Chain A
Amino acid sequence: EVQLVQSGAEVKKPGESLRISCKGSGYSFTSYWISWVRQMPGKGLEWMGRIDPSDSYTNYSPSFQGHVTISADKSISTAYLQWSSLKASDTAMYYCASGSSADYWGQGTLVTVSS
């Protein structure tokens, strides 16, 4: 069974750094891109960026370029989304997704940024 398991909810202060994770199992982790999707409270879905786990090549949405970093460690089938300096506006649910049409999704990681 294909599974993407994300790390748990986080509460951070503005300016702090954070890395959340997404571990894949049940399939060849390097076969599909891993994408990250943001959903702000009460709002729709937004593609943030994606990574090819086989060579760590990344694409970012212009809206997120420079504010987040996507990485992966194929040896442990895990992708990461990280911030070096969080803002209150980063408060959202973050999902990872994989598969040729984003067939499989993680359960989501809620990130709350508040002073």
Chain B
Amino acid sequence: QSALTQPPSASGSPGQSVTISCTGTSSDVGGYNYVSWYQQHPGKAPKLMIYEVSKRPSGVPDRFSGSKSGNTASLTVSGLQAEDEADYYCSSYAGSNNLGVFGTGTKVTVL
């Protein structure tokens, strides 16, 4: 199972929006509505931000939103804040008895 493709970096000024893409295939992203997004600050464990394409866990600000079109999922962070600067990883279900696959990761910089 190959890693999902994400851009290595993305950036925006405080208050602006940034969108990160996550491209897979019809065997993972395109085949199921089970895409998750994780935020990881340096030296910290990943944190779930979005699950099942567009659902937010309790406590995650509504500035974070997810969507999917075909084989590409996206995470949008609106109203960028300094604390949003982190690495972001997507992950997709890829069928039963398959662990799923992570994306390559995107470093978001708040300018």
* Chain B binder among A24-32, A73-81, A84-92, A103-111: A103-111
Say yes or no: is B41 at the interface (Cβ < 8 Å to chain A).
no
- Report whether B105 and A103 are in contact in the complex, using a CB–CB cutoff of 8 Å: no
- Report whether B36 and A47 are in contact in the complex, using a CB–CB cutoff of 8 Å: no
Interface residues of A in 23-57 (CB under 8 A from B): 35, 37, 44-50
By a CB distance below 8 angstroms, the chain B residues around A103 are 48, 51, 57
**Cβ-Cβ contact count across A and B, 8 Å cutoff:** 57
Interface size class of B (residues with CB under 8 A): 20 to 34
For A44, A48, A105, A108, which residue has the most chain B Cβ atoms within 10 angstroms? A44
Q: Known contacts A44-B3, A50-B99, A95-B45; is A101 also within 8 Å of B36 by CB?
A: yes
Say yes or no: is B15 at the interface (Cβ < 8 Å to chain A).
no
Chain A: interface residue total (CB-CB under 8 A): 25
Q: Known contacts A45-B89, A101-B36; is A106 also within 8 Å of B51 by CB?
A: no
The one of B34, B97, B102 in contact with A47, judged by C-beta atoms closer than 8 angstroms, is B102
Say yes or no: is A114 at the interface (Cβ < 8 Å to chain B).
no
The one of A45, A50, A106 in contact with B38, judged by C-beta atoms closer than 8 angstroms, is A45
Which of chain B's residues has its CB closest to A96's CB? B45
